[in-house]
Structure 1
């Protein structure tokens, strides 16, 4: 039997053909030297790899090297490897296969095989690749929440029930999420990262303690805790944000799922079982299922289907560099309460849920005209669950509209009013979300109108943006607003 080479995001049992298969794992530190990753992300990945190696015991050859090639040179036997999760890693594996005995296997860890997605997308001529259509097709194909040919309860989508404003309380009053307890492996990882820093490797963000699951057992415990304590509330406040409740009802499962420690279908099955047992409402369960086998798989497949050059799209010609305070996760670089809060969350934990990512961090970058490729790289490095395949479609396509509308029919741009409606972050801010000019003008409100004005001609042709663009004609002070913000004109 060939020895299975496992990358650091292929750590679950699904990546082995049999439990006792011989394994190769290579911990390459060159990856950390090339770009400044979040310290907690580096810790999580190394901890997860070493926990997996400890579980495998004698069946694993675990090498700590500067590069993958250096490690592979120490292994003179036939290998097999599942498709890696980035274009760069795929090209590397392809080159290796031309040099040595290396069997390449299809990707694992996703609910829909790549061949099935390609068939689905090609049948549409590569156009109108709507997530909703893909999600419904996946539900049918995987027989998830179905009654014969129809969706359970007769509805596919409960989005309308999953957009509630935040409650007028500081928190959702849910039990604390399940947290891992660090062990001797984590201590060794921390010592090694400290040594790398002394050697000149630069990290961003704050160090631990480790927040996310790093082993199969921890991941299953985190899943069970979410299903029991937060899934019932998840749907209602899925799009809301509370200052004092960073985690709210979110699962915190994206990091172990993207490490391969959980299978998407076991998450889905657990959530559906909670609904059938009467422990979680249909809207929450459907919303969670939609994220796992809908959006996550959809993003994975678009990364490959749209091609390697998709990452370079910049249809809005956004060329401004990310400022240093943003790159270094320094919340003191802004006086905007929401932006400072979101950066603090990333700085302290390497995580923020999808609304701070999209409607605060991404929205601000979109309005400021920041380079989408730089922003994609920033999200990849700064978030514990960030990988190339995750961030290229999410940032280039959904967040920054740099693909011109391939992934989303309209840009996710919003003013201060949206943030004031869906969060409790504006009440103590020095800026007023209602104002677009003056000392107290909200940078999101001003930025929204300046963004629309910059791209007026383009968005006037967009059927979903026409009304918003026409709103520019009702601004009596548009010329003054542009004159006061020449960098965004």
Structure 2
């Protein structure tokens, strides 16, 4: 009998069962383990728990008699129940904890990772030739390696990065982007069963969740994920580029793909996703700046984050270059958007509470920026993003938060901290309209919490920021403020209270 093939809950696409010299045999029996201990360890968003369980059970239904689906307290107990001491293969798990677990099991053989575009050894070879592992350098290497969006030896459209065309703020009076609607799945009997089980876990087993479990908003099967990909490529990719950094209160989705959860569940392979985007550009269906902006997210940033997670090592999660120690307040932990007066933060927290998702700019420049300004513990911020986002996994969140969002690695991934005063939020969104605060006010009752928080952050870390050419001007601006003492008093007065 062929070895059993173990599929984790983020390895659900056909490419994880495709036979190869090192991979599983054709038609190898499959085991999937639903371990409740995963949900006991963290207070996950209810919609995230629902999506993961629904996707696992959908995959089991597709595999039919080929799969042994076990519901157990732990992975170890589930594997013992499913296969006893039989030989098992599993593709390289996506978290260090899971990789450590499977590597310790005598009957389990770990296969190379799938679901990414280049092997880890190739990344290490590339990294060995670079003093600083900058994303832009990596992205250009990826484009050449994969011959992706290339015209011969040159990048499509004559430049590697079309970000200059993808930073347009909303037009005055714009309330929605008026993009075609994204694909949304329909729930079925599996979702009904999952929801009943989650209710029972809460009621009988004390497993707690945060957020709301509305109708499932993201694909839970390969068929649904392919439908979502087609819908995006055919109807939404063309309009994706220009406003990908803009935020509208009435249009949280804009032209974003909503494919991250499908990629991170393994329902889609990144090669087919970027290939579809390139094909659409070559067919003249989308402009190059939209295709390139989307490809950069998948073949650039997503791939970079995956490799950085493993390359930087286990100690990376403990980095805290800015020495931020403050705990996350209860209103933030509970996604209590109604307690927040600042319209931008309340709007985004509402989106997270209701859906477990918001796009990359609210994540970085509103949620992450606020945490950075308040000096919250980066490990606690990492855990919050991991728990509260449907597409959040350890490998995704750790570099994005420790490196990109909280600058806790001191600049290994980025050249500066990403934080901003209220003026940026006002320029790139409509979220300041009707707010209790004014983005330009630094003092007084209507002082914007992002503006006071920004200058407090610059003041607190002035020496470090002054030594960085990308942030030195901010320190110079701080010294020109005649009311900095009052700004700091205003900011301190808010403390851990909701803004």
Separation in 1, partners of 2:98, 2:274 = 29
Separation in 2, partners of 1:376, 1:192 = 27
How far has the Cα of 1:20 moved from its partner?
A: 2.1
How far has the Cα of 1:482 moved from its partner?
A: 2.2
Counterpart in 1 of 2:98? Answer: 89
Partner SS, residue 104 of structure 2? helix
Separation in 2, partners of 1:347, 1:30 = 23
Q: Does residue 189 in structure 1 map to residue 190 in structure 2?
A: no
- The alignment's TM-score, normalised by the length of structure 1, stands at 0.97
Question: Per-residue CA shift, 1:434-484, capped at 9, x if unaligned?
Answer: 001000000000110010000011111111111111111110011222234
Question: Per-residue CA shift, 1:235-272, capped at 9, x if unaligned?
Answer: 00000011110110000000010000000010111111
Counterpart in 2 of 1:330? Answer: 336
Counterpart in 1 of 2:300? Answer: 294
Q: Does residue 229 in structure 1 map to residue 230 in structure 2?
A: no
Contact residue 423 and residue 440 of structure 2 kept, 8 A: yes
- The alignment's TM-score, normalised by the length of structure 2, stands at 0.95
Contact residue 230 and residue 251 of structure 1 kept, 8 A: yes
The number of residue pairs the alignment matches comes to: 484
Larger displacement relative to structure 2 (473-482 or 58-67)? 473-482
Q: In structure 2, which of residues 294, 315, 318 is the aligned counterpart of residue 312 of structure 1?
A: 318
Contact residue 368 and residue 488 of structure 1 kept, 8 A: no
Partner SS, residue 73 of structure 1? helix
Counterpart in 1 of 2:449? Answer: 443
Q: In structure 1, which of residues 51, 55, 79 is the aligned counterpart of residue 58 of structure 2?
A: 51
Contact residue 315 and residue 401 of structure 1 kept, 8 A: yes
Counterpart in 1 of 2:23? Answer: none
Question: Per-residue CA shift, 1:114-159, capped at 9, x if unaligned?
Answer: 01000000122xx311111111111111111112221123211100
Counterpart in 1 of 2:38? Answer: 31
How far has the Cα of 1:278 moved from its partner?
A: 1.4
Question: Per-residue CA shift, 1:136-189, capped at 9, x if unaligned?
Answer: 111111111112221123211100000000133211112221110101111110
Partner SS, residue 80 of structure 1? strand
Q: Does residue 249 in structure 1 map to residue 258 in structure 2?
A: no
Q: Does residue 10 in structure 1 map to residue 26 in structure 2?
A: no
Counterpart in 2 of 1:280? Answer: 286
Counterpart in 2 of 1:361? Answer: 367
Unaligned 5+ runs, structure 1: none
Q: In structure 2, which of residues 75, 82, 93 is the aligned counterpart of residue 68 of structure 1?
A: 75
How far has the Cα of 1:93 moved from its partner?
A: 1.1
Separation in 1, partners of 2:210, 2:157 = 47
Contact residue 453 and residue 491 of structure 2 kept, 8 A: no
Unaligned 5+ runs, structure 2: 20-25
| Cα RMSD, aligned residues only | 1.2
Contact residue 33 and residue 72 of structure 2 kept, 8 A: yes
